[in-house]
């Protein structure tokens, strides 16, 4: 009889989910950085950042934008969590991420040094894109505020610290969503602060809050001792 111990399936699954959460977190943190810096590096004639994260679909970084959202969607599809609520939220976020990736926002009227392609999309594509983005962001906030903070037993000191981060990230996401709605619907406000790229900045903050919360959930930091 072999004295080699078989790996614990539960432990292996736990490790797998930790890696999955970290992967989602890293993708969220990297997305705005890679899009902005990558496009500036590849499109020397452009020399400016885009109005929003979604606008990078039409730049040379478009494949990275689409690929990252699809990867996040696939990771979320395979995410089961601990309860049915985790699974339903993950599946909803998966659908929204894929919808946002495959239904780009309306492009500029003509191709340019920044926008290397132009696509005239029907109104329903824009509706799918923006509706999907809002639901996706709200689902991310729901994960941080309502799901990640749960505990099956007495909370460890590290778990309490992680919960503070989850809640902070969740409220930052909700605040960013509110800011995006205000900037997008109040034209005078948008015109007054356009030079500061408010949509891109708010989306960047939101994605970093999302990515950091998932990285913490994967116990990349503040692991239980």
| Higher pLDDT among residues 45 and 139, named by residue | 139
- CA dihedral 32→33→39→41, nearest 10 degrees, is 180
Q: Confidence class of residue 5 from pLDDT cuts 50, 70 and 90?
A: very low
pLDDT of residue 11: 41
Q: Confidence class of residue 20 from pLDDT cuts 50, 70 and 90?
A: confident
Tokens, residue 60: 């040379």
pLDDT digits (tens, 9 = 90+) for 76-101: 998 877 788 889 999 999 999 999 99
Tokens, residue 177: 């969503």
Burial code (b: 16+ CB inside 10 Å, e: under 16) for 200-218 equals bbbbbbbbbbbbbbbbbbb
pLDDT of residue 191: 86
Q: Is 70's pLDDT higher than 90?
A: yes
pLDDT of residue 10: 42
> Cα dihedral sign for 159, 165, 167, 173?
negative
On average, the pLDDT of the chain sits at 85
| Higher pLDDT among residues 3 and 123, named by residue | 123
List the domain boundaries for the chain: 10-217
Per the CB < 8 A criterion, the answer to whether 172 and 154 are in contact is: no
Cα 223 from Cα 225, distance rounded (Å): 6
Q: Confidence class of residue 156 from pLDDT cuts 50, 70 and 90?
A: confident
| Among 26-35, 68-77, 146-155, the least confident range | 146-155
CA angle 170, 174, 178 (to 5 degrees): 170
pLDDT digits (tens, 9 = 90+) for 117-151: 666 677 888 899 999 999 999 999 999 999 999 88
- Look-up of token digits 């999309």: 121
Tokens, residue 185: 């619907």
Residues of the chain with pLDDT > 70, as a percent, come to: 85
* DSSP secondary structure of 148-166: TT--SSSPPHHHHHHHHHH
Helix, strand or coil, per DSSP, at residue 187: helix
Contacts of residue 42, defined as CB under 8 A and 6 or more positions apart, other chains included, come to 60, 61
């Amino acid at each position: 009889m072999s004295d080699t111990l078989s790996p614990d399936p539960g432990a292996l699954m736990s490790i797998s989910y930790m890696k999955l959460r970290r992967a989602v977190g890293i993708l969220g943190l990297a997305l705005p950085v890679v899009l902005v810096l990558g496009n500036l590096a590849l499109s020397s004639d452009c020399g400016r950042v885009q109005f929003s994260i979604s606008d990078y679909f039409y730049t040379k970084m478009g494949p990275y934008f689409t690929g990252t959202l699809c990867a996040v969607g696939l990771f979320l599809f395979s995410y089961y969590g601990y309860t049915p609520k985790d699974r339903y939220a993950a599946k909803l976020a998966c659908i929204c991420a894929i919808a946002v990736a495959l239904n780009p926002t309306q492009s500029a009227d003509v191709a340019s040094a920044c926008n290397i392609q132009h696509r005239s999309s029907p109104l329903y594509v824009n509706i799918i894109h923006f509706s999907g983005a809002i639901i996706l962001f709200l689902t991310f906030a729901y994960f941080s505020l309502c799901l990640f903070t749960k505990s099956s037993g007495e909370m460890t000191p590290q778990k309490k610290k992680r919960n503070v981060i989850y809640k902070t990230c969740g409220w930052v996401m909700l605040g960013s969503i509110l800011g995006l709605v205000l900037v997008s619907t109040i034209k005078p406000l948008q015109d007054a602060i356009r030079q500061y790229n408010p949509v891109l900045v708010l989306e960047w903050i939101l994605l970093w809050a999302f990515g950091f919360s998932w990285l913490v959930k994967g116990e990349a930091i503040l692991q239980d001792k």
